Amino acid sequence: MGKKKLNTVPCPICDGSIDGIAVEEESITEAKRIPVLVPAKCSNGHQVILFVDKKFTVRDVEAAGKVVDEDSDEGSVNKALKWMDGF
Ligand SMILES: [Zn+2]
């Protein structure tokens, strides 16, 4: 039980650091699908999605607007961004 801190990764937009991101352990250990998508922000405020594997390691980082994952719990944020992209 508790929170796990993820490793620091570079922002795909500005190369700034994304650190200090913590997730609930159960959100990873009990996830139905791996990697788990974790929304985060870089030090410059860019919205990104972290792809986290079962060992709490960040496997990939994407700018939030680019992620296409209809089933994700973070869908509302991404849908809003996708709508904006469409205009
Ligand atoms: Zn950034």
How far lies 47's CA from each of 2, 15, 38, 61, 69, in Å? 24, 13, 11, 10, 16
CA of 43 to the centre of ligand 1 (A): 6
CA of 48 to the centre of ligand 1 (A): 8
- Please indicate whether residue 71 or residue 54 has the higher confidence score (pLDDT): 54
What is the structure's pLDDT at 1? 73
At 3, list the tokens.
């929170």
CA of 1 to the centre of ligand 1 (A): 30
Distance between CA 87 and CA 13 in Å, rounded? 21
CA of 54 to the centre of ligand 1 (A): 25
How do residues 56-65 score in pLDDT, each as one tens digit? 999 999 999 7
How do residues 10-54 score in pLDDT, each as one tens digit? 999 999 999 999 999 999 999 999 999 999 999 999 999 999 999
CA of 82 to the centre of ligand 1 (A): 18
pTM for the model: 0.72
In the predicted model, is pLDDT for residue 79 greater than 80? no
Q: Cβ contacts of residue 77 below 8 Å, gap of 6+? A: 39, 47, 64
